[in-house]
Amino acid sequence: MILAPVPLTPDRDIPAPVLSELTALYAANREFQALSGDFPDPDDIRPEQVAAALADELAHPDAEVLLARAEGRLVGVVVTLARHPDPADPDPWIGLLMVDAGAQGKGYGRRIAESVEERFRAAGRDAVRLAVLEENPKGLAFWTALGYEVIDHRPDRERGRPCAVLRKELGAGA
């Protein structure tokens, strides 16, 4: 599996073929999209909506959008944030990790998470945080199985949705 930054055109747009792949990946995760409410109609996710959602991430200087490919096929996307907007929060964050529904259960999510952890570890970071919607028990089970521990419960910054905040110590060879 290869994890690499999303390619951008000189105008900082996502190239159309990549945007089509991302739209298909987002649409394949209908259950999560319905839960998150990030798109008006989880049954009709459009490229311009995905582009707009990712444009916000790509405009943030501390954010990174990474694509996970296996055998040339897009199997996942992960959005990271090197610094949280709250200055009291010292840890980097995983803002989103989504695996194509057709590729779930094959270990891609775990490998993506481990790759992100290694990137942060290599950058000298001690831990990483993320938030899981309270109504997403599958997401919570995934992250806790990877060693993340719930440290707080609070609304998310964008929409005020109830979330569990999780943290994982990275250690030298964790």
Domain locations in the chain? 2-125
Cβ–Cβ < 8 Å for 27, 41: no
Identify the CATH assignment for 2-125 out of 3.40.50.620, 3.40.630.30, 3.30.1600.10, 3.40.50.300: 3.40.630.30
Q: Determine the pLDDT at residue 158.
A: 80
Contacts by residues 52-59 (CB-CB < 8 Å, ≥ 24 positions apart):
54/6, 54/14, 54/22, 54/79, 57/95, 58/6, 58/8, 58/12
pTM of the full predicted structure? 0.93
Cβ–Cβ < 8 Å for 133, 162: yes
Q: What is the pLDDT along the chain (174 residues), one digit of tens a residue?
A: 999 999 999 999 999 999 999 999 999 999 999 999 999 999 999 999 999 999 989 998 899 999 999 999 999 999 999 988 788 889 999 999 999 999 999 999 999 999 999 999 999 999 999 999 999 999 999 999 999 999 999 998 888 899 999 999 998 654
Element spanning 23, H or E: helix 16-28
At 36, list the tokens: 């998150």
DSSP class of residue 75? E
Cβ–Cβ < 8 Å for 101, 34: no
Q: Determine the pLDDT at residue 128.
A: 97
Task: Name the pairing type of β-strands 63-70 and 162-169.
Answer: unpaired
Q: Which residue has the tokens 């199997």?
A: 75
SS3 103: helix
The residue count for the chain = 174
